[in-house]
Amino acid sequence: MTTVTKKDRVGVLLGGLSSEKGISMLSGDAVYRALAGLGYDVVKVEVDRDLPLKLRELRIEVAFNALHGRFGEDGCVQGVLEIMGIPYTGSGVSASATAMDKVLTKHILTSGGILTPPYRVVERAIGYDQLLREGGINLPYIVKPACEGSSIGIGRVSSPVEMKKAITHALKYDSRVLVEKFIEGMDVTVAVYDDRVLGSMEIRSDETFLDYDVKYTEGRETFFIPPPLEADIMASVEESALAAHRLLGCSFYSRMDFRVAPGGRPYMLEVNTLPGLTALSYVPKIAENKGMSYEALVEGILGSARLKLKDVPGRDLHQKGKVE
């Protein structure tokens, strides 16, 4: 693992080109303030298509990736950083690209014996009518873009009449849409930190499911740490979370979201390779419950920064000239 010192120029990557830019700005600003308060030489880097030029001009030596969504969480920026030889936080190119694709993620999780809700994939060329003809999963459905995060483009469908509207909306964000069986039960999220389970939390809301507005509006959710589950069920949830983290090749930290059905069966819904780090985000709340301050959480993540690809020898944080 790379050693990051307070003399190294740290760039907090925030903003970006995705529909989650606003959330990334909040995460990145919070990370920046924490690292600046700890005495690091840290600057904000607002990510756009000139990112390589900005990294060179600012002489960034290590990147704290606070991006969310496409071009930041999906392996694209990770690839740029690998090519430039700049160590970075979060998962590498392969794990990031895989976890961002909900369909591919489901294939991998299922192959590893991790339970996910039954689903179908709708493509723009096929349309919702074919899904209705195929059947195979019963109402209600959750409809969501295959490659988006923060519950963007998501909708709940309770009748065939609602199907077209929900799929049309989701197709605004992606050419593939995941139509998934809605699982009744408890919303549980698991934080993995230092490649181990840090803790778990139940999220409750008056809403049927946790959409974008619920997640990012203060006061819309209530949290229970740890979740009120029997010990064997909780162990099963956390074992599945850690197994998914390893199966996908995630690095250092991640967050796994579940629905625990009545009777205790845990269904994995989402894999987050760059969990939010805002004031309302779940991982900081779990860390705080474990006695870890926000500053300690962020500094630990920064300390995990490294290059993930092994094919170019001799690259490390203090290799001079890489951003000349």
Strands 62-65 and 9-15, how do they pair? parallel
Among 19, 16, 20, 80, smallest CA distance to 275 is for 20
Q: Would you state the structure tokens that stand for residue 120, as one six-digit string?
A: 């179908």
Q: Which amino acid is at 280?
A: L
Question: Which residues are catalytic, by number?
Answer: 20, 150, 216, 255, 257, 270, 272, 276
Q: Considering Cα of 107, then 108, then 111, then 113, what sign does the dihedral take?
A: negative
Q: Would you state the structure tokens that stand for residue 54, as one six-digit string?
A: 């900005």
Q: Would you state the structure tokens that stand for residue 241, as one six-digit string?
A: 């979370």
- β-partners of residue 255 are 191, 272
Q: DSSP E strands: which ranges in 74-152?
A: 119-123, 141-145
DSSP state of 70: T
